[in-house]
Amino acid sequence: MTVPKEYIPHEVEPKWKEAWDMSMYHFDWEDYKRPQFIIDTPPPYPTGNFHIGNSLNWCYIDFVARYKRMCGYNVMFPQGWDCHGLPTEVKVEDIHKITKNQVPREEFRRMCRELTISNIGKMRNTMMNLGFSVDWSNEFITMEPAYYSKTQRSFRRMYDMGRIYQSEHPVNWCPRCETAIAFAEVEYEGRTTKLNFLNFDKLKIATTRPELMAACVAVAINPEDERYKEHIGSKVKVPLFGHEVPVIGDSVVDPAFGTGVVMICTFGDKQDVRWWVEHKLPLRKAIDKNGLMTKIAGKYAGMKIPECKEAVIADLKAEGYLYDQKELEQNVGMCWRCDTPIEILSEKQWFVKIDTNDIRKAADEINWTPEHMKVRLENWLGTMEWDWCISRQRIFATPIPVWYCKDCGEVMVAKEEWMPIDPTQESPREPCSKCGSTNFEPEEDVLDTWMDSSITVQHVTGWLTDHKSRLPAQLRPQGHDIIRTWAFYTILRSVALAGKRPWDSILVNGMVLGEDGHKMSKSLGNIIAPEEVIEKYSADSFRQWAAIGGAPGSDVMFRWKDVVAASRFFSKMWSIYRFSMSHFEDLDKSDAVAKEDLHIVDRWLFNNLYELITTATKNMDAYQFDEAFKAIRGFAWDVVADNYIELVKSRLYGNNEADRKAAQYTLYVTIDALAKLLAPFAPFFAEEMYSRLGTGSVHMQSWPKADNSWKDEEAGKAGELIKEIVSSVRRYKSEHGIALNAPLKGLEIYTMISGSNIGGASSMIIGARTDIMGATNSSLDVRIGCPDFEHVPVNVKPNMGVIGPKFKGQAKAIIEALTEANPKKVVSDMEQHGKISLQTSSGIVELGPESVEIEKEVISAGRAVDVLDVRGIPVVIIR
Q: Model confidence over 806-817: pLDDT tens digits?
A: 888 888 889 888
pLDDT of residue 189: 82
Residues 59-74 have a mean pLDDT of 98
| Per-residue pLDDT band at 2 (split at 50, 70, 90) | confident
User: With pLDDT > 70 as the criterion, what percentage of the chain qualifies?
Assistant: 98
What's the mean per-residue pLDDT of the chain? 92
Is the model's pLDDT at 470 over the cut of 60? yes
Phi, psi values for residue 334, rounded to 5°: -125, 150
Displacement of CA 125 from its chain's centroid (Å): 22
Local structure of 759: helix, strand or coil: coil
Over residues 863-877, the mean pLDDT reads 84
Task: Give the per-residue pLDDT at 656.
Answer: 94
Q: What b/e string do you get for 831-852 counting C-beta neighbours within 10 Å, with b at 16 or more?
A: eeeeebebebeeeebebebebb
Q: Which residues contact 569 (CB under 8 A, 6 or more apart)?
A: 544, 633, 636, 637
What mean pLDDT comes out for the span 299-306? 94
Question: Could you read off the pLDDT of 652-667 as tens digits, one per residue?
Answer: 999 999 999 999 999 9
pLDDT digits (tens, 9 = 90+) for 186-216: 787 888 889 999 999 999 999 999 999 999 9
- Region 501-513: mean pLDDT is 94
* Model confidence pTM above 0.95: no
Band the pLDDT of 752: cuts 50, 70, 90: low
164-174 and 343-352 beta bridge pairing:
antiparallel
What pLDDT is recorded for position 757? Answer: 46
When pLDDT is averaged across residues 89-112 and rounded to a whole number, the result is 91
Average pLDDT over residues 623-646: 96
Question: Is pLDDT of 550 > 70?
Answer: yes
Dihedral sign from CA coordinates of 385, 390, 394, 396:
positive
pLDDT bucket at 761, cuts 50 / 70 / 90: low
Q: What angle in degrees, to the nearest 10, is found between the helix axes of 713-735 and 600-621? A: 110
Per-residue pLDDT reduced to its tens digit, 118-165: 999 999 999 999 999 999 999 999 999 999 999 999 999 999 999 999
Average pLDDT over residues 383-407: 91
Confidence of residue 100 (pLDDT cuts 50, 70, 90): confident
Q: 753 pLDDT exceeds 70?
A: no
Q: How far apart are CA 94 and CA 78, in angstroms?
A: 32
| pLDDT 10s digits, 814-868 | 988 888 888 888 888 888 888 888 888 888 889 988 888 887 778 877 787 888 8
pLDDT of residue 551: 83
pLDDT for 755 equals 43
> Largest alpha-carbon pair distance within the chain?
135
The pLDDT-based confidence of 756 (bands split at 50, 70, 90) is: very low
Is the pLDDT assigned to residue 185 strictly greater than 80? no
Task: Calculate mean pLDDT across residues 431-459.
Answer: 96
pLDDT, residue 424, reads 95
Whether residue 297 is predicted with pLDDT greater than 90 in this model: the reply is: yes
Which alpha helices (DSSP H) does 27-99 contain, by range?
Answer: 52-70, 86-96
Predicted confidence band of residue 754 (pLDDT cuts 50, 70, 90):
very low
Give strand ranges (E) for 266-352. 322-335, 343-352
Residue 36 pLDDT grade (very low, low, confident, very high; cuts 50, 70, 90): very high
Length of the chain: 879
pLDDT tops 70 at residue 395: yes
Distance CA 71, CA 227 (A): 73
- The type of residue at 262 is V
Residue 323: predicted pLDDT: 95
Q: What is the pLDDT of residue 861?
A: 72
